[in-house]
Amino acid sequence: MPYLLMIIEPRGQRATRQPAEAAGLYDAMMAFAADLQQRGVLLRAESLRPDEHAVRVSASTPGGKPRMLDGPFAEAREMIGGFFLIDVATRDEAVAIAQHCPAVNWASVEVRECAPCHVR
């Protein structure tokens, strides 16, 4: 069963790190990904650029013309910094993996089961 582990980090946090610290944290995350890959549970992992590089596309009304809003998004205190898509048998296993993610030391790791949008 696929689960998404989303790394939710405070906006602006990356800019406060020295280059060596940032590289060390990234290396720890890549080692975590390599371990998941070796265990056969990793489907995909990606780091995301900060939200000042993002664009939100939405409609003001259902069926309305889409509008775009460039980041950064002033109302947001956090941003999704990356993700791991894993395939494990249970939610408990996904949570156990999330607890070992290095990002829990500077961010939150949200565990979400993948499912069709009509499934509650």
Q: Residues 6 or more apart from 111 whose CB is under 8 A from it? A: 3, 4, 5, 91, 94, 95, 98
Give residue 58's pLDDT: 87
Domain ranges of the chain: 2-58+66-113
Helical spans, DSSP H, in the chain:
19-39, 91-99
Least Cα distance to 8 among 108, 112, 111 occurs for: 108
Give residue 51's pLDDT: 86
Dist. CA 116–CA 120, nearest whole Å? 9
Give residue 89's pLDDT: 98
Give residue 34's pLDDT: 98
Dist. CA 112–CA 86, nearest whole Å? 10
Bridge partners (DSSP) listed for residue 7: 82, 109
pLDDT in tens, 42-63: 999 999 999 888 898 888 778 7
Is the CB of residue 28 less than 8 Å from the CB of residue 102? yes
Give residue 69's pLDDT: 83
Task: Give the pTM.
Answer: 0.89
pLDDT along the chain (120 residues), means of 10: 96 93 96 98 96 86 84 83 97 98 97 93
Dist. CA 41–CA 78, nearest whole Å? 27
The domain at 2-58+66-113 falls in which architecture? 2-Layer Sandwich (3.30)
